[in-house]
Amino acid sequence: MIVSAIAAVADNGTIGRDSDLPWHLPDDLKYFQRVTRGHHVITGRKNYETIPAKYRPLKDRVNMVVTRNAAYEAPGAVVLGSLEEALEQAAANGEIEAFVIGGGQIYREALQKGLVDRLYLTLVHANVEGDTHFPLLDPTDWTEQSREHHPADERHAHAFSFVVLQRRH
């Protein structure tokens, strides 16, 4: 099974502010839906709670919430005690590609433990204030597979690029 992480990251590493996305990029949200639909998505509890209630659990995906709180309830989602447990269950369910979808703490853990094979990054071409950041990557660990640039326009305040990186093994 391929383990992927998907995130939108500003030039200065920001991924969140005040438990929300610090930008409005409709095409990035569509990209996230298209890439993750039909797959297992793994999120930390705090990140899960930032998803607007009307969208929880994310439809057409198996939602897995990682938390140390064994009594935590996320109706419609699977609650697990660790990232490894979530990945084991996804693999046991026959998943081909599972997605770590945030937040900052779970991205950090997945990358530090070397669990991530592929990164789907929306690089937001701006320095954006925020309180949650994506971990720094060692560029020698990754090979760029694709890049698709999108200029700023009336719907997108910032230019951005969809970039897929593959871990070098």
Whole-model pTM: value is 0.96
| Residue ranges in the chain modelled with pLDDT below 50 | none
pLDDT at 146: 98
Q: Please state, in angstroms and rounded to a whole number, the distance separating the CA atoms of residues 55 and 77.
A: 12
Check which CATH number belongs to the domain holding 69 and give it. 3.40.430.10
Q: Please state, in angstroms and rounded to a whole number, the distance separating the CA atoms of residues 37 and 39.
A: 6
- Into how many domains does the chain fold? 1
Per residue in 23-40, pLDDT (tens digit) is 999 999 999 999 999 999
CB 162 within 8 A of CB 148: yes
Per residue in 81-103, pLDDT (tens digit) is 999 999 999 999 999 999 999 99
Query: How many alpha carbons fall within 13 Å on the CB side of residue 51?
Result: 20
Q: How many helices (H) and strands (E) does the chain have?
A: 4, 10
Q: What is the domain range of residue 147?
A: 29-158
pLDDT at 145: 98
Tokens of 165: 């990186």
pLDDT at 169: 78
